[in-house]
């Protein structure tokens, strides 16, 4: 039985705005799931629906064997036995660290001795052993977020919900807390649902990644699956900054619309005759000397070249089209003229294109040959 299960969940706000549509998701015990998507995609709405702050207009939400939302029944957040950590840690300044952490235990009527033992246990768990009497004002941002995490864990929740819990921290600290969080949740076999706008964070932490857009799930998979086998051009662009190019496949080649780019289908995975879009990952574009014209698909001018620790982020403009490229080794300079070669592309056919539209596309492509 899944730790968290959503079946056919819809959520429509009173003004008619669609928050979630046909969400079906099963999260297993001990699994770490990250929810990602652009702003307004529904990731926070989905988390708040699991937590009980929002009630679905259709479908069911279950925690283990218990249906906590469905039909006319919706259990309030305090009855769902979930721990939650927000972007802003919400530590009470008038309470010591120990009293902050013990708050859910106090609400549950746990005895003072038991509270003290559990507070000591979870503070040790998050690396704050002996901090019970500390004033929150004396803590760093990372320490306060650890206190918030300890408070969420104090009552041994069924699952831990994280709403942008690390995003307010500086990068070096955030990176360290990512490692600590993953180690902690694995050791405790915690079920975690983590909302983040940081794609690298989602891919680094999660067992599975759920990509949402417009309140709908676009793909669910392991980090490796969603990066190497994106289910749509949208997923490829959102997760990996893929270059999206519309065109048509015919005679063993993909030809773009409004551009002279032409790529053999031996380099276009999933290619089939007809109109569609190719997604080209920045790592799948090779920049080469323009004099080696026999090995280039296109020429262009470097418009932006940003240094990165592992690779440089380079934008090349060719006939009005921008190509984002990930370049290892020597970094090209702005203004350099370079050749581009596409090593690999993913083809996504347009299932809605009718014969008349296809004929129009063919005409447009022919005009640019």
Q: What is the DSSP string of 13-25?
A: -TTS-EEEEEEEE
Q: How far apart, in whole angstroms, are the C-alpha atoms of residue 345 and residue 261? A: 13
Residues 274 and 315 in one domain: yes
> Does residue 72 register a pLDDT over 60?
yes
Query: Residue 327 has which token pair?
Result: 């370049």
Residues 224 and 243 in one domain: no
pLDDT grade for 291, boundaries at 50, 70 and 90: low
Note whether 255 and 369 are within 8 A (CB): yes
| Interval 256-286: pLDDT, tens | 988 889 999 999 999 999 999 999 999 999 9
Report the candidate in 367, 362, 353 with the shortest Cα–Cα distance to residue 276: 353
Domain count of the fold of the chain: 2
| Torsion on CA atoms 145, 149, 154, 157, rounded to nearest 10 | 160
Residues 200 and 85 in one domain: yes
Residues 208 and 143 in one domain: yes
Confidence (pTM):
0.86
Strand-strand pairing, 268-269 and 18-27: unpaired
| Interval 85-95: pLDDT, tens | 887 777 888 99
| Interval 171-197: pLDDT, tens | 777 788 888 888 888 888 899 999 999
| Interval 295-311: pLDDT, tens | 677 889 999 999 988 89
**What range does the domain containing 304 cover?**
234-367
Residues 344 and 264 in one domain: yes
Residue where the block lists tokens 């002279």: 260
- Look at residue 367 and give its three-state secondary structure: helix
Q: How far apart, in whole angstroms, are the C-alpha atoms of residue 286 and residue 29? A: 43
> Does residue 353 register a pLDDT over 50?
no
Mean pLDDT taken over the chain? 89
Q: Exposed, middle or buried: residue 71 (CB in 10 Å: 0-12, 13-18, 19+)?
A: exposed
> Does residue 290 register a pLDDT over 80?
no
DSSP secondary structure string, 163-209?
Answer: ESTTTTS-HHHHHHHHHHHHHHHHHTT--EEEE-S-HHHHHHH-SEE
Residue where the block lists tokens 């009173």: 14
> Does residue 369 register a pLDDT over 60?
no
Residues 205 and 269 in one domain: no
- Look at residue 100 and give its three-state secondary structure: helix
Residues 267 and 213 in one domain: no
Report the candidate in 321, 341, 327 with the shortest Cα–Cα distance to residue 244: 321
pLDDT grade for 294, boundaries at 50, 70 and 90: low
Residues 356 and 255 in one domain: yes
Give the residue-averaged pLDDT of 332-350: 94
What single-letter DSSP state applies at residue 286? Answer: E
pLDDT at 165: 81
pLDDT at 174: 78
């Amino acid at each position: 039985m899944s730790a968290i299960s959503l079946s056919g969940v819809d959520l429509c706000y009173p003004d008619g705005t669609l928050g979630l549509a046909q969400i079906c998701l099963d999260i297993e015990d001990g699994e770490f799931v990250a929810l990602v998507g652009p702003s307004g995609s529904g990731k926070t709405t989905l988390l708040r629906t699991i937590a009980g702050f929002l009630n679905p207009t259709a479908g069911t939400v279950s925690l283990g064997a218990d249906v906590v939302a469905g039909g006319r029944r919706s259990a309030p957040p305090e009855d769902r036995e979930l721990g939650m950590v927000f972007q802003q840690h919400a530590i009470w300044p008038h309470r010591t660290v120990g009293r902050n952490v013990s708050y859910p235990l106090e609400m549950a009527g746990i005895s003072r001795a038991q509270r003290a033992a559990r507070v000591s246990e979870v503070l040790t768990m998050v690396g704050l052993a002996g901090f019970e009497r500390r004033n929150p004002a004396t803590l760093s941002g990372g320490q306060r977020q650890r206190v918030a995490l300890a408070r969420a864990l104090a009552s041994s929740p069924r699952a831990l919900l994280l709403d942008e819990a690390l995003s307010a921290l500086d990068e070096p600290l955030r990176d360290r807390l990512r490692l600590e969080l993953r180690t902690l949740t694995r050791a405790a076999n915690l079920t975690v649902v983590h909302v983040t706008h940081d794609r690298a964070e989602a891919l680094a932490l999660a067992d599975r990644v759920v990509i949402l857009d417009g309140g709908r799930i676009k793909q669910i998979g392991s980090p490796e699956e969603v990066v190497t086998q994106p289910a749509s051009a949208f997923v490829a662009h959102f997760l990996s900054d893929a270059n999206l190019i519309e065109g048509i496949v015919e005679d063993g080649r993909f030809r773009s619309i409004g551009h002279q780019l032409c790529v053999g289908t031996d380099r276009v995975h999933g290619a089939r005759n007809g109109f569609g879009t190719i997604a080209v990952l920045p790592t799948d574009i090779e920049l080469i000397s323009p004099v080696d014209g026999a090995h280039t698909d296109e020429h262009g001018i470097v418009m932006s070249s940003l240094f990165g620790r592992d690779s440089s982020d380079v934008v090349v403009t060719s006939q009005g089209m921008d190509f984002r490229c990930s370049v290892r080794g020597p970094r090209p300079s702005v203004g350099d003229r370079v050749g581009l070669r596409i090593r690999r592309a993913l083809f996504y056919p347009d299932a809605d294109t009718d014969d008349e539209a296809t004929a129009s596309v063919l005409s447009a492509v022919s005009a640019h040959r």
